[in-house]
Amino acid sequence: MTLPASHPLLDGRKGDSALVSAYTGTRGSTAPVWFMRQAGRSLPEYRELRVGTRMLDACLDPSMASEITLQPIRRHGVDAGIFFSDIVIPLRLAGVDVEIVPGRGPVLAEPVRTAADVVALPDPAGADFSAIEQGVALTVGELGSTPLIGFAGAPFTLAAYLVEGGPSKDHIRARTLMHADPGAWAGLLSWAAEVTGRFLRAQIVAGASAGQLFDSWVGSLSKADYVSRVAPFSAEALEHVRDLPVPLVHFGVGSGEVLKPMHEIGVDTVGVDWRLPLDVASERLGGGVPVQGNIDPALLAAPWPVLEAHVLDVLRRGLSAPAHVVNLGHGVPPETDPGVLTRIVELVHGTPLDSLRAEP
């Protein structure tokens, strides 16, 4: 199957957008910009809408998920929406008992810690993504020429939640299983790759113009473990969308040592967190890969002159890559003043890249 003829990339609505062009290596006169977690707790309209609704229930309500996705586009004027969901949604839809606990994060009723637990996982093919497809279609219908990004959690991050049973600082149980029972680990990662790959495909076929694979916990891995025991399964997840002509992005937190193998799983653009300057990241990637990032979220609360200088530095360093999509080096903190994000968008859109090249 390929994309339907009505898909935004095929019917002329999004194909020439600044975001899609940058993801495929074409730089415009200014850089496109959006923010991870741009929809959510930093927006008062989001908090008002979410009153009385649990997180995963909001994600699975097509009209609510669509409205939440659209809120930051209306407010900030960003160059893309990212569909409002959660990386554990495909687990829930496949039949795993998972809930988002306020103040803690995803919590599973029954962690997966043995080979028998892996075998007992539900069949990913039974996941019903119709609510996701409806939410994406509603959103794309309202976006006009602004593209929508679909996203999914990378298999390692999903596996880490499954094994740990919830958030963890070091993911030691997951890393122990990786080495103690390689067969069970491979089975678990293959299961996660299938369910998250199906989730990403559902979003793209329904109208998303790009896809991002998000590896929250990759920074807990050694390079050797990532290359041999994780990267092949991230590539396996993306096999579910290989036949679809959309740009793909891979982002991981703490991923400075594995940027190159993250690109080598077969993506167009690599996201970079705040720890590594973009010019250094571009050099590690070989100089020919579009990059995304990497404003430090901590600076969103700094005085404007400090933040402004930082954003301009990020733009300048982004010139080392073939193209650059401005973003944060992670997600928007919930206490962020929304006006600051709007001001960043205005700064990025108002800064011709040629003016940065001309500076000494």
Q: Known binder of ligand: residue 86?
A: yes
Q: Known binder of ligand: residue 173?
A: no
State both tokens at 233.
């399964």
Q: Known binder of ligand: residue 38?
A: yes
CA distances from 139 to 31, 47, 322 (A): 24, 19, 30
Query: Of these residues, 23, 27, 79, 86, which one is catalytic?
Result: 86
Q: Known binder of ligand: residue 37?
A: yes
Asked about 37 being catalytic, the answer comes back as yes
Asked about 86 being catalytic, the answer comes back as yes
Asked about 50 being catalytic, the answer comes back as yes
Query: Of these residues, 23, 46, 161, 226, which one is catalytic?
Result: 161
Residue 213 has φ and ψ, to the nearest 5°, of: -100, 125
Query: Of these residues, 41, 173, 275, 316, which one is catalytic?
Result: 41
Q: Known binder of ligand: residue 161?
A: yes
- What gap in Å lies between CA 8 and CA 180, rounded to an integer? 46
Q: Known binder of ligand: residue 203?
A: no
What is the DSSP-derived secondary structure letter of residue 41? Answer: T
Query: Of these residues, 13, 23, 27, 37, which one is catalytic?
Result: 37
State both tokens at 31.
């850089």
Query: Of these residues, 50, 275, 316, 343, which one is catalytic?
Result: 50
In the chain the beta strands, taken as DSSP E runs, fall at 81-82, 98-101, 105-108, 148-153, 210-215, 248-252, 269-271, 291-295, 324-328
Q: Known binder of ligand: residue 198?
A: no
Q: Known binder of ligand: residue 268?
A: no
Q: Which of 185, 252, 188 is nearest to 217 (CA)?
A: 252
- The helix (run of H) or strand (run of E) holding residue 203 is helix 182-206
Q: Known binder of ligand: residue 41?
A: yes
Length of the chain: 360
- The helix (run of H) or strand (run of E) holding residue 136 is helix 130-143
Question: Which residues fall in the annotated binding site?
Answer: 37-41, 86, 161, 216, 330
Question: Which residues fall in the annotated binding site for substrate?
Answer: 37-41, 86, 161, 216, 330
Q: Which residues are catalytic?
A: 37, 41, 50, 86, 161
